[in-house]
Structure formats: structure tokens, C-alpha cells
């Protein structure tokens, strides 16, 4: 896991916050283990979300504190989150998930999508080994990639190098991939009557991606 510490300038803090938020979202779409479920229940997850959101370079208030604290859930939270994850994103009730977490499930030409994703990853020195447990078009892989690019942007600034290749890559990747399918994913999710935690998680993800895409566009427009 990439660590981002000792940020001093406003610009560094903003980029670091964006990178952390992408990483947090990526982790949130993995199967909810005991540690994650306990973090939701005891407020640690909400605390992380609020802390990062407060230092983003754009206003972000699309949070439901009661939902992200697991308030109002009487049954075992780990059991509930796990069962709902399986129903919605994994096996589903008829042997297939209601709302797959793969881009190729929402867009045509999955082979071409996968090739484009792999080109992005390889261009920045990343490869997915056979031991990796998610495919290139899985939501966690895509979010983790933008986390990586924003971290590289931060490193470039701190070493007084050109950050714009990483800024353009983030903008291009967002527009060609996550923001092209996650709104469709959210609409399909809403039709599957999800528990409120996953409903709000996907809403927050979509909102953040669109705001961040606009933020990157503004940076690039100002640099012209």
C-alpha cells in the first residue's frame, strides 16, 4: 500500500487527498471482511471518509453519516455486508451477480476495453500477474490505478518534475473508463434494491469521479 506522508503545500495536500480517496474507494469494493465491517460499525470508516473529503480540492459533501456508520442495522454487520456483496456483486441469486463490478458488463466490445486498459497499465510500468485476483476492468483495479497515477503526480511535484503527463493520464483514463460505465452501474444497482450502505457507496463513488474529472479538466485548461 502506498503511503503519503509529510505533505506541506496546499497543492500536495490536495493531490494526496485525491489519491487516498481513490484508494479508500477501491478497498471498499472488495469483499467486506471482519476488519472492514468493524471499521464501519465503530465509525473508523466514516472518520476516514470525512477526513479525506475535508481536504479535497473541490467541495464534496455527498455523505450520509448514519449510513457509513452502519446506524440502524440490528443484525450482524459483517454477515449483512457479506451477504449483500455476494447477492449484488458476486454470485447473485441465480448464479450470476445482479450488478457486476466489471466495466465490460456495461459496455460493448469487452476485448477492446481490456486491451485499452492493459495498455494504460503497461505504459506506466504496471502489469497484472496471474496471481492478481481481479481482472483489468474490475472497479477495484481501475480505482487503484488512478490512486497510483495521482501518487506519481505528487512525486513529480515533490521532485520538481513535470506532473502533467500524470494529470493528463488521469483525465483520459477517467473519461475513457470509470466515468463511462459507473453511472450505468449505479442505475442497475438501484433497480436491485441494495442495502443503503452500498447504495450510498456507489453514489459517493460516481459523484467523486465526476467532480475529480472536472477538477483535472480545469487544471489542464488553466495550463494552456
The full set of domains in the chain, from first to last, is 10-222 (1.10.3480.10)
Mean per-residue pLDDT, 137-146? 97
Burial of 200 (0-12, 13-18, 19+ CB in 10 A): middle
pLDDT at position 96 is 80
pLDDT at position 134 is 78
pLDDT at position 2 is 46
Query: pLDDT tens digits for 158-212?
Result: 889 999 999 999 999 999 999 999 999 999 999 999 999 999 999 999 999 999 9
* Reported confidence tier of residue 224, pLDDT bands at 50, 70, 90: confident
pTM of the shown model: 0.92
Q: 32 or 3, which is more confident?
A: 32
Mean per-residue pLDDT, 105-113? 95
Distance CA 88, CA 16 (A): 31
pLDDT at position 93 is 62
Asked if pLDDT for residue 217 goes beyond 90, the answer is yes
DSSP string, the chain: --------SHHHHHHHHHHHHHHHHHHHTS---HHHHHHHHHTHHHHHHHHHHTTSSS------HHHHTTTT--S-HHHHHHHHHHHHHSS-SSSS-SS-SBGGGTSS-HHHHHHHHHHHHHHTT----TT-SS-TTBHHHHHHHHHHHHHHHHHHHHTT---HHHHHHHHHHHHHTHHHHHHHHHHHHHTT---HHHHHHHHHHHHHHHHHHHHHHHHHHHT-
Asked if pLDDT for residue 11 goes beyond 50, the answer is yes
Asked if pLDDT for residue 101 goes beyond 70, the answer is yes
Of 11, 18, 5, nearest to 212 by C-alpha is 18
Q: Kindly report the number of other CB atoms within 10 A of residue 43's CB atom.
A: 15
Amino acid at each position: 500500500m502506498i503511503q503519503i506522508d509529510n505533505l506541506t503545500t496546499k497543492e500536495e495536500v490536495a493531490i494526496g487527498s485525491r489519491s487516498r480517496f481513490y484508494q479508500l474507494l477501491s478497498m471498499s469494493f472488495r469483499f467486506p471482511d471482519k476488519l472492514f465491517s468493524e471499521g464501519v460499525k465503530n465509525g473508523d470508516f466514516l472518520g476516514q471518509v470525512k477526513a479525506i473529503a475535508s481536504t479535497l480540492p473541490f467541495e464534496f459533501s455527498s455523505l450520509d453519516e448514519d449510513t457509513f456508520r452502519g446506524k440502524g442495522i440490528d443484525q450482524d454487520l459483517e454477515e449483512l455486508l457479506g451477504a449483500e456483496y455476494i447477492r449484488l456483486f458476486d454470485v447473485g441469486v441465480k448464479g450470476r451477480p445482479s450488478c457486476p463490478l466489471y466495466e465490460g458488463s456495461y459496455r460493448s466490445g469487452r476485448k477492446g476495453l481490456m486491451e485499452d486498459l492493459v495498455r494504460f497499465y503497461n505504459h506506466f510500468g504496471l502489469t497484472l500477474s496471474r496471481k492478481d485476483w481481479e481482472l483489468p476492468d474490475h472497479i477495484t483495479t481501475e480505482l487503484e490505478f488512478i490512486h497510483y497515477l495521482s501518487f506519481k503526480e505528487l512525486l513529480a511535484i515533490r521532485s520538481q518534475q513535470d506532473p502533467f503527463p500524470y494529470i493528463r493520464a488521469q483525465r483520459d483514463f477517467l473519461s475513457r473508463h470509470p466515468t463511462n460505465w459507473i453511472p450505468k452501474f449505479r442505475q442497475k444497482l438501484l433497480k436491485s434494491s441494495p442495502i443503503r450502505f452500498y447504495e450510498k457507496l456507489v453514489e459517493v463513488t460516481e459523484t467523486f469521479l465526476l467532480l475529480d474529472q472536472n477538477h483535472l479538466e480545469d487544471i489542464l485548461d488553466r495550463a494552456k
